[in-house]
Structure 1
């Protein structure tokens, strides 16, 4: 049975991830005990997430590099202009390969590695302990936590920390806009991405009297057991890092990633994207696509600008003159352009 490709870019979900070849010897992980994947997103999931997962149209290059990242157990670093589908791709992969809900870490200039791994609120724990001290006598040995002072009640795993749990199949993690981060974050990620493991110092210190803690995971109210504060993955997660090209990354970070640059859609691909989102078009749709392609050759435009213009053009009662004016406003160049008029 063929093991390539695992991700095919098709619309129908399948169990092809079970054919994923074994990892390279230098990317094998043995965390455990194995955890089952959470259920796929159901009707309570964001309609936006479900829509972007089912309507994403992958290029041949993106399919090849997604499979390379899956087989090599390496993060996929996606760059490209705004609106090129960078953040939609992981949702499409998770849907097709039935890998459960996508974990998402939206990076800002203040984000730190710990934000992605776990959150700990020492002040809330101190407050809970002070309240409990007036009601419950601590154990005479000093080894027991007073009621309300259990450390696991004040810790929660972040998106990256959750993705690195020992799941039997890879979780999908989107680290969005990594180029907006502080300069140190890519370097801080190196060891975690290379080793597929991390420690929670607060639990390591408490392991003598609390060897196992049950922590809440990201994006869910469910809890998992963490032994002695150490987490090691089993199936390396499918990690997608997106970048708008606002900065360069250190070579040590780049060599640990599979790079994918998304380019401006070709006409046929653009028409397929429009059909996926809005169904078959008419003459007005074709004219708007042509205008979009013409204007995108002289300045930066995003595909969702075209989708917004086409959607409005189909609103009953909107006159042709208004449609053209709205399209002109919606398809304004996002950066410097040589021409700005239709």
Structure 2
């Protein structure tokens, strides 16, 4: 295997990330300060996505795109139809390179940049301040408020914390966002840092504050209200290609388009990973799936649903495979009558 490939798309996790060379000078975020540890062995944070990440086998151009993003410390913008493995790629990289839980940030039309950076519980802070004031008034003393209790980093904010190794951040379905979010992301992704104003305002008397990360790992130390990364995270942004992005955003990304899964050899390991034991009898279901996919858009989840149902069709009155295909393999880009 080429030494150039940090991510190799292999089944066994390894320490290849330790071979990642120093970044280009314009993407070097190294600085002095406390390092935040994270548990590389804690898995992939995948939950239900773990089986698919386990079976994910990237093609050559995908491997090249991932490694290019790792070397250049740039986000990877992945486009393609639903179900082709855009999100799964993030979990596969995290699993293989042992980069801990994936930090997932699902995006919708109401998502703002601050949602990804941090949350501040202002009401809880005011309530505790009122209690402390009452205690001081009545007794002359009062406990000092721990401001860090009211701040929690979001997925993007956690990814930009001062870790020695890159965290994996999945910004899912960015094309569903408000049109301004891509531009708003530019500064944080370009500079590798951001300010928490609520902490910056008290930096003269409270220099360091420990706050909770999105994954509930080790607390992150924030100095003078600034969160600064030490190494740029591995960022995957997924898009179904529903709209275009501004040129300033695109030129800062490595771009990859994933093709639809259209081969039995690609689909069989996915079925096996999710439904062990069912794959041996699923060849006909996969063929039906591919036939339907040739005439309209389908997602891999629909195949898994059909294989699962097939394993439950031994009982009396169960529908035949033809009927199951009609029920489950309904194209995503057309309206299919439900009574057909």
TM-score by length of 1: 0.90
Contact 1:3 1:21 in 2 (8 A): no
Q: Give unpaired runs (5+ residues) of structure 1.
A: none
Say whether 1:152 aligns with 2:148. Answer: yes
Contact kept, 8 Å, 1:73 with 1:236, in 2: the verdict is yes
1:56 corresponds to: 56
Mapped to 1, the partners of 2:312 and 2:99 lie a distance apart of 37
CA–CA separation in structure 2 for the residues paired with 1:85 and 1:227:
38
Structure 1 residue 136 displacement after superposition: 2.3
Spell out, residue by residue over 1:144-173, the C-alpha distance to the aligned partner (whole angstroms, 9 max, x if none). x96363322211111111111111110001
How many residue pairs get aligned? The number is 336
Which stretch has the larger CA shift, 283-292 or 101-110?
283-292
Name the counterpart of 1:34: 35
- Name the SS for the 1:198 alignment partner: strand
Whole-angstrom distance in 2 between the partners of 1:269 and 1:95: 19
Q: What's the CA shift string for 1:177-225, capped at 9, x where partnerless?
A: 1111111111010011111111111111100110110111112063121
> Could you say if the C-alpha distance between residues 288 and 89 of structure 1 is closer, same or farther in structure 2, counting changes exceeding 3 Å?
same
Q: Is the 8 A contact 1:333 1:340 kept in 2?
A: no
Alpha-carbon deviation of 1:117?
A: 0.8
Cα distance change, pair 146–118 in 1 and its aligned pair in 2 (3 A): farther
Q: Which moved more, 1:329-338 or 1:225-234?
A: 329-338
Which deviates more from structure 2 when the two are superposed, residues 266-275 or residues 195-204? 266-275
Question: Relative to structure 2, which stretch is displaced further, 247-256 or 285-294?
Answer: 285-294
> Residue 118 and residue 339 in structure 1: after superposition, are their counterparts in 2 closer, same or farther (change >3 A)?
closer
Name the residue aligned to 1:232: 228
Could you say which residue in structure 2 is the equivalent of 1:301? 298
Classify 1:339/1:8 alpha carbon distance in 2 versus 1 (closer, same or farther; 3 Å).
farther
Contact 1:128 1:148 (8 Å CA) reproduced: no
Q: 1:59 Cα deviation (Å)? A: 2.0
State how far apart, in whole Å, the 2-side matches of 1:134 and 1:83 are. Answer: 56
Task: Compute the TM-score of the two structures, normalised by the length of structure 2.
Answer: 0.90
Distance 1:262 1:339, change over 3 A: farther
Whole-angstrom CA distance in 1 between matches of 2:325 and 2:260: 19
Between the aligned partners of 2:182 and 2:73, the Cα distance in structure 1 is 18
Comparing 313-322 and 325-334, the one that deviates more: 313-322
CA contact (8 A) 2:40 2:100 kept: yes
Give the distance between the partners of 2:95 and 2:71, measured in 1 at CA. Answer: 18
Structure 1 counterpart SS, 2:29? coil
Tell me: CA distance 1:146–1:174, structure 2 relative to 1, closer, same or farther (3 Å). farther
Q: Cα distance 1:209–1:299, how it changes in 2: closer, same or farther (>3 A)? A: same
Structure-to-structure mapping, 1:201-220, within 5 angstroms: 201-220=197-216
**Residue 201 of structure 2 aligns to a residue in which SS?**
helix
Out of 162, 168, 175, the residue aligned to residue 164 of structure 2 is 168
The CA deviation at 1:332 is: 0.7
Q: Deviations over 1:95-125 (max 9, x none)?
A: 1000011111111211111111111122221
SS where residue 124 of structure 2 aligns?
helix
Aligned to 2:332: 334
**Consecutive unaligned residues in structure 2, runs of 5 or more:** none
Cα deviation 1:284-315 (Å, max 9, x = unaligned):
52222222112111100011211211122123
1:42-96 Cα offsets, whole Å, 9 max, x none, are 59x6641332321223222211111111111011111111111111111111010
